[in-house]
């Protein structure tokens, strides 16, 4: 019994954290944002430590519907890291009304729980329930933005409707998979699907199931929610959506694509096409964007294309490169949102012009922005380059040299709009009415930490990559 | 003397170059912006130290023994076979020396900079970190990382401190060069995978026998990927625009060193690792190179902006380098590498002189400048010397380089060789015409009272001029060194 608790420890801890925040939220009395923030900060820090401690446990729970292995645990560490980092930038949660702060943290916690359950699910219905738990938390969080007016309500409604449709489609696909394989456990599906993958029913089932997850990862053509949601949501929430929820989607996509056992050329071609279109579309449309969060949304669509490239190789090298890229992507996105939160006034959206003269107003933030943006572009010596490099190794190993070349061309295209951000921060003089941005000491420390992480992941990938390789072997 | 050399050979000089560059970068980042003089002094001291280390490397290299020396090799990432592997041989040692010279003289040339001094020198050191790294790296992963580190500081350096159409020039240059690196990375990964060795160590990869198809695709990717940076026609259009837009020392580094990175990449990564591909595509390379030589000369003929003239002359001279590389012969490659060195120094001197003239007269347009040699004899002298070197006058370094390239080009590709010589004649024509119009003829009274260069500002130009004359009078000092490594390299191709 105790060993089973050990397996489930991170989830149980975050459940406990959720209950504490729930208690805070129903408490009477004047809202105390400082106390709420400190509670959330301490609890999420402990959560990160708990997840790190549970890194090497293995086992199965709940009638083999729930698998705890290195693959799932490594993603739980990423998710709790993402949660912790987002909480650190919530000290001045201007985007949300004070009385809703506890609810904000509560639903972030439930979303994290949902995603942790998601990465460990090896059974279709568990997967669906976990996905819904995380999705509903986000549906509630989006409209909570203060002063967002129409935009945040629009974002909330769009995300809710499209998410609901995606879930329904996913469930329908799962029913087809059940019909073909007569089981909902992924392990058994893995045994039966490769032989059955030529049946149209199997392909439909697989594609529709994946559609729900492609929606989460913003793979084209399921990406249309991303720009509006990124623009309409409050900055800290979008930081969470951009980093943590994408990572969870990557994890479960790896598990599900591994199901087919690389037998179906049809399926491979489909993934290749989705990857190509995603990369190109995301990069091209991002060029036009003036709002930085919207630009990041389109860049995330392009990154979904790169990640899909790694996933479709269906090899250990491919999976480990995607796991590595998951961490890198988390850190890079967080770096960009960190700068957004510190630059934005009263939690408003930040347009690229507002970065003008950042090198004078806040040189440390300009440096973080530079590294984050160049990391997303994939330039050495940032982690973004190493992540893409590892994906290319997997892709070329499978013989898709041309796909790597197209991806690199896309990287060059993406550089155009990323340089636009750097240009504003470093080249343009500050606007006449702008002021220097004060950066408190904890925030300075956070900036240094993020810069160090980005460069470490770029120059010395050994430790994390070895861990990712071990995790990739445990996928199925 | 022999003991001194023995001591030098034990020192990790290559890592110390990288270390000094990073040290310079960190010190400058930590210094406050309000003390530009301190920043300049620190930059000069560090770049001077780096130059001394490069000279020590040159002295310490044992030409009798040949091969790789000053080797520093240790494992970096075991699971991917990435090694921290630096070494020198006859091909990259001249390049390291060139970079040291151009960096030092470039720092001195910008002594009068006032705008955002701290960031300028910080970006400069970041840029040369990448350049030094590429030249000394023998591990493909590190080579590519350093290559990109060398590329992206060009954007802020040009866009902030540049002049004519600086934002356009900076964006075009950066995007073009990164598009080139977009071709290199798949090539590197292709070699990594097809070798079956799971390593990025270039010496190990050079011994893996790649299939002809892989070598062919690989060399093509490297030819065009690195060729963009080498100014290979038709992917050269970023170069003149970038030269014109960039501030003086950045143009010096850009034309003097950065374009050599491209040619070095074609030779070291393309030629060394894919010899069969090199032999196969050499015809195409020769065609593109010849067109570049002739085209650069003709377009340069039409220019009225001094920096554009130098820019197109650079394209033409880099075409000569590519032509030498495309002959796949010992003397061709010797000439190409020597031309990389000689042209680097020469073009750095050209830009350095133009920079001074522009600072004082605020114009680079030839019709507006006239008779400069009457107003400013010394700086004119430097420019004219460099222009003559570009033309290929004997006793100056470029003469030997161009001679070797032409001899081997005419031997291997007679028609293309003759066309290239004609291109040289055209470029001599426009260079001399530029000199005549800008420095001789009636003096422009507007510039009558301007000060000529003083001894301090003249020192970097004098160093560059001295190098051109030194290696012009004693070419064996460089050629013997290059030959040591070219012979085994060509031997590999022939023996394949």
- What is the DSSP annotation of A206-227? HHHHHHHHHHHHT-TTS-THHH
Cα B231 to Cα B320, B431, B492, distances in angstroms = 11, 19, 26
pLDDT confidence band for A86 (50 / 70 / 90): very high
| Predicted pLDDT of residue A302 | 92
C-alpha A214/C-alpha A67 separation (Å) is 22
- A36-57 per-residue burial string, b: 16 or more CB within 10 A, e: under 16: bbebbbebbeebbebbeebeeb
Of B149, B181, B189, the CB nearest to A392: B189
Is B193–A393 a contact, with Cβ atoms under 8 angstroms apart?
A: yes
Chain A to chain B, count of Cβ pairs less than 8 Å apart? 86
Who has greater pLDDT, A434 or B153?
A: B153
| Predicted pLDDT of residue A262 | 61
B110: Cβ contacts below 8 Å, ≥ 6 apart: B40, B120, B247, B248, B249
| Predicted pLDDT of residue B184 | 92
The first and second tokens of residue A376, run together, are 């997303």
pTM of the complete model: 0.90
The mean pLDDT value of chain A amounts to 88
Nearest CA to B312 among B300, B321, B322?
A: B300
Task: Say yes or no to pLDDT of A346 above 80.
Answer: no
The first and second tokens of residue A199, run together, are 């049946």
pLDDT confidence band for A59 (50 / 70 / 90): confident
- How do strand A66-68 and strand A59-61 relate by DSSP bridges? antiparallel
Is A408–B185 a contact, with Cβ atoms under 8 angstroms apart?
A: yes
Output the CA angle A270-A275-A277, nearest 5 degrees.
95
Task: Say yes or no to pLDDT of A263 above 70.
Answer: no
pLDDT digits (tens, 9 = 90+) for B116-150: 888 899 999 999 999 999 999 999 999 999 999 99
- What is the DSSP annotation of B267-285? IIIIIHH-HHHHHHHHHHH
Task: Say yes or no to pLDDT of B104 above 90.
Answer: yes
Mean pLDDT within B183-187: 91
Residues of chain B contacting A401 with CB distance shorter than 8 Å: 186, 190, 217
- A98-118 per-residue burial string, b: 16 or more CB within 10 A, e: under 16: eebbbbbbbbbbbbbbbbbbb
Supply φ then ψ for residue B443, to 5 degrees: -75, 140
For the ranges A264-273, B361-370, B444-453, the lowest mean pLDDT is seen at B444-453
| Furthest-apart CA atoms within chain A: distance in Å | 68
pLDDT digits (tens, 9 = 90+) for B231-273: 888 888 898 888 888 888 899 999 889 999 999 999 999 888 8
Q: Which residue has the tokens 């999976």?
A: A319
SS3 B201: strand
CA dihedral B102, B107, B110, B113 (to 10 degrees): 150
| Predicted pLDDT of residue B144 | 93
Measured in angstroms, the CA of B322 and the nearest CA of chain A are apart by: 24
Percent of chain A exceeding pLDDT 70 equals 98
Mean pLDDT within B442-450: 75
For the ranges A21-30, A274-283, B273-282, B413-422, the lowest mean pLDDT is seen at A21-30
Burial of A436 (0-12, 13-18, 19+ CB in 10 A): exposed
Percent of chain B exceeding pLDDT 90 equals 30
Who has greater pLDDT, A275 or A93?
A: A275
Residues of chain A contacting B126 with CB distance shorter than 8 Å: none
For residue B486, give the H/E element and its range.
helix B476-494
Residue A289 contacts residue A295 (beta carbons within 8 Å): yes
Which ipTM did the prediction report? Answer: 0.86
Residue of chain A whose Cα is closest to the Cα of B189: A393
pLDDT digits (tens, 9 = 90+) for A360-419: 888 888 889 999 999 999 888 899 999 999 999 999 988 888 899 899 999 989 999 998
For the ranges A104-118, B376-390, B449-463, the lowest mean pLDDT is seen at B449-463
Cα B84 to Cα B71, B138, B460, distances in angstroms = 10, 8, 34
C-alpha B430/C-alpha B453 separation (Å) is 26
The mean pLDDT value of chain B amounts to 88
C-alpha A309/C-alpha A303 separation (Å) is 10
Task: Say yes or no to pLDDT of B62 above 90.
Answer: no
Nearest CA to A180 among A114, A103, A264?
A: A264
C-alpha B311/C-alpha B296 separation (Å) is 9
Task: Say yes or no to pLDDT of B293 above 80.
Answer: yes
Mean pLDDT within B385-407: 89
- What is the DSSP annotation of B75-105? EEEGGGTEEEEEEE-TTHHHHHHHHHHHHHH
Burial of B345 (0-12, 13-18, 19+ CB in 10 A): buried
Is A465–B77 a contact, with Cβ atoms under 8 angstroms apart?
A: yes
pLDDT digits (tens, 9 = 90+) for B190-209: 998 888 888 888 888 888 88
Burial of A474 (0-12, 13-18, 19+ CB in 10 A): middle
Nearest CA to B117 among B39, B188, B57, B44?
A: B39
Cα A438 to Cα A365, A435, A442, distances in angstroms = 10, 9, 12
pLDDT confidence band for A223 (50 / 70 / 90): confident
Percent of chain B exceeding pLDDT 70 equals 100
Residue A289 contacts residue A417 (beta carbons within 8 Å): yes
Q: Domain ranges in chain B?
A: 2-494
Supply φ then ψ for residue B233, to 5 degrees: -65, 140
Residues of chain B contacting A394 with CB distance shorter than 8 Å: none
| Predicted pLDDT of residue B267 | 92
SS3 A188: helix
- B185-208 per-residue burial string, b: 16 or more CB within 10 A, e: under 16: bbbbbbbbbbbeeebbbbbbbbee
SS3 A96: strand
pLDDT confidence band for A261 (50 / 70 / 90): low
Chain B residues touching chain A at CB-CB below 8 Å: 76-80, 119, 141, 144-146, 148-149, 152, 155-156, 159-160, 167, 171, 174-175, 178-179, 181-183, 185-186, 189-190, 192-193, 217
Give the count of alpha carbons within 13 A of B255, CB side only: 36
How many domains are there within chain A? 1
Supply φ then ψ for residue B82, to 5 degrees: -95, 130
C-alpha A215/C-alpha A87 separation (Å) is 25
Task: Say yes or no to pLDDT of A327 above 90.
Answer: yes
Mean pLDDT within B215-236: 90
Mean pLDDT within B160-164: 84
Q: Which residue has the tokens 């440390």?
A: A364
| Predicted pLDDT of residue B132 | 94
A74: Cβ contacts below 8 Å, ≥ 6 apart: A55, A323, A467, A468, A471
pLDDT digits (tens, 9 = 90+) for A155-195: 889 999 999 999 999 999 999 989 888 888 888 887 787 77
Of B146, B156, B185, the CB nearest to A426: B156
Q: For an interface test with B, give the residue of A396, A457, A467 to mutate (most B CBs within 10 A).
A: A396
Q: Sign of the C-alpha dihedral, residues A301, A215, A97, A49? A: negative
The first and second tokens of residue A427, run together, are 């080249």
Supply φ then ψ for residue B370, to 5 degrees: -165, 140
Task: Say yes or no to pLDDT of B337 above 90.
Answer: yes
Residue A24: give the domain boundaries: 2-473
């Amino acid at each position: 019994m105790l060993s089973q608790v050990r397996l489930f420890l991170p989830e149980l801890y975050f459940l406990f954290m959720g209950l504490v925040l729930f208690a805070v939220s129903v408490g009477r009395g004047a809202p105390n944002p400082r106390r709420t923030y400190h509670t959330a900060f301490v609890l999420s820090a402990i959560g990160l430590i708990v997840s790190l401690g549970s890194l090497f446990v293995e086992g199965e729970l709940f009638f083999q519907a729930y698998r705890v292995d290195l693959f799932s645990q490594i993603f739980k560490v990423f998710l709790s890291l993402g949660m912790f980092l987002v909480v650190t930038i919530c000290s001045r949660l201007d985007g949300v009304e004070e009385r809703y702060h506890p609810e904000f943290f509560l639903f972030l916690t439930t979303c994290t729980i949902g995603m942790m359950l998601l990465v460990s699910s090896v059974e279709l219905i568990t997967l669906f329930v976990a996905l819904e738990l995380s999705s509903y938390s986000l549906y509630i969080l989006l409209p909570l933005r203060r002063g967002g007016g129409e935009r945040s309500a629009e974002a909330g409604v769009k995300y809710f409707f499209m998410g609901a449709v995606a879930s329904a489609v996913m469930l329908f696909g799962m029913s087809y998979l059940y019909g073909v394989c007569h089981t909902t456990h992924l392990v058994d599906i893995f045994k039966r699907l490769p032989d059955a993958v030529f049946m149209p029913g199997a392909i439909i089932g697989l594609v529709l199931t994946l559609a729900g997850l492609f929606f989460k990862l913003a793979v084209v053509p399921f990406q249309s929610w991303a720009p509006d949601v990124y623009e309409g949501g409050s900055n800290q929430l979008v930081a969470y959506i951009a980093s943590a929820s994408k990572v969870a989607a990557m994890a479960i996509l790896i598990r599900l694509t591994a199901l087919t056992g690389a037998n179906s050329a049809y399926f491979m071609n489909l993934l290749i096409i989705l990857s190509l279109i995603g990369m190109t579309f995301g990069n091209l449309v991002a060029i036009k964007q003036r709002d930085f969060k919207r630009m990041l949304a389109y860049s995330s669509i392009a990154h979904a294309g790169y990640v899909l490239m790694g996933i479709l190789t269906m090899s250990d090298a491919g999976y480990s490169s995607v796991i590595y890229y998951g961490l890198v992507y988390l850190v890079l996105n967080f770096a960009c949102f960190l700068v957004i939160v510190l630059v934005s006034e009263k939690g408003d959206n930040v347009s690229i012009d507002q970065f003008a003269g950042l090198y004078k107003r806040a040189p440390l933030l300009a440096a973080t922005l530079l590294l984050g943006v160049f990391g997303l572009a994939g330039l050495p010596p940032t982690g973004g380059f190493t992540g893409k490099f590892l994906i290319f190794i997997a892709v070329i190993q499978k013989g898709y040299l041309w796909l790597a070349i197209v991806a690199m061309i896309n990287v060059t295209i993406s550089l155009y709009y990323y340089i636009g951000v750097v240009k504003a921060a470093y080249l343009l003089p500050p606007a006449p009415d702008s002021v220097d941005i004060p950066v408190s000491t904890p925030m300075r420390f956070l900036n240094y930490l993020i810069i160090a992480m980005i460069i470490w992941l770029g120059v010395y990938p050994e430790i994390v990559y070895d861990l990712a390789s071990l995790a990739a072997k445990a996928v199925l | 003397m022999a003991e001194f050399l023995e001591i030098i050979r034990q020192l990790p000089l290559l890592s110390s170059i990288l270390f000094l560059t990073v040290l310079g970068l960190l010190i400058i980042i930590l210094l406050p912006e309000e003390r530009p003089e301190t920043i300049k002094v620190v930059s000069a001291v560090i770049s001077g130290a780096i130059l001394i280390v490069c000279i020590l490397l040159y002295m310490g290299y044992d030409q009798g023994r040949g091969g790789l020396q000053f080797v520093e090799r240790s494992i970096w990432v075991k699971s991917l076979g990435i090694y921290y592997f630096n070494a020198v041989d006859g091909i990259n040692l001249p390049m390291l020396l060139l970079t040291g010279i151009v960096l030092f003289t470039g720092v001195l040339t910008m002594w009068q900079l006032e705008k955002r001094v701290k960031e300028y020198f910080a970006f400069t050191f970041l840029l040369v970190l990448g350049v030094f790294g590429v030249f000394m790296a023998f591990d493909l992963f590190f080579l590519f990382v350093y290559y990109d580190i060398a590329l992206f500081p060009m954007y802020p350096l040009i866009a902030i401190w540049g002049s004519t159409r600086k934002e356009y020039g900076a964006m075009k240059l950066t995007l073009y060069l990164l598009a080139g690196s977009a071709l290199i990375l798949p090539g590197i990964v292709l070699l990594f995978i097809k070798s079956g060795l799971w390593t990025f160590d270039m010496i190990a990869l050079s011994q893996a026998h790649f299939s002809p198809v892989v070598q062919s695709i690989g060399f093509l990717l490297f030819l065009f990927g690195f060729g963009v940076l080498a100014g290979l026609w038709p992917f050269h259009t970023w170069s003149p625009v970038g030269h014109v837009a960039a501030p003086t020392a950045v143009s010096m580094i850009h034309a003097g060193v950065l374009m050599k990175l491209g040619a070095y990449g074609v030779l070291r990564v393309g030629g060394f690792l894919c010899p069969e591909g090199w032999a196969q595509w050499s015809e195409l390379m020769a065609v593109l190179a010849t067109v570049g030589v002739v085209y650069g000369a003709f377009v340069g003929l039409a220019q009225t902006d001094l920096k554009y003239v130098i820019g197109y002359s650079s394209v033409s001279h880099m075409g000569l380098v590519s032509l030498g590389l495309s002959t796949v012969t010992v003397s061709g490659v010797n000439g190409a590498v020597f031309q990389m060195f000689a042209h680097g120094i020469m073009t750095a001197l050209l830009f350095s002189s133009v920079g001074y003239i522009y600072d004082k007269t605020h114009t680079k347009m030839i019709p507006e400048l006239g008779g400069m040699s009457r107003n400013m004899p010394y700086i004119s002298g430097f420019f004219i010397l460099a222009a003559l070197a570009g033309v290929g006058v004997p006793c100056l370094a470029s003469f030997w380089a161009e001679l070797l390239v032409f001899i081997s080009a005419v031997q291997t590709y007679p028609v293309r060789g003759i066309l290239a010589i004609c291109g040289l004649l055209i470029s001599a024509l426009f260079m001399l015409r530029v000199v005549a119009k800008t420095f001789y003829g009636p003096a422009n009274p507007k510039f009558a009272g301007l000060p000529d260069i003083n001894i301090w500002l003249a020192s970097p130009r004098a160093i560059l001029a001295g190098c051109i004359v030194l290696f012009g009078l004693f070419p064996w000092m460089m050629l013997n060194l290059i030959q040591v490594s070219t012979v085994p390299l060509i031997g590999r191709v022939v023996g394949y």
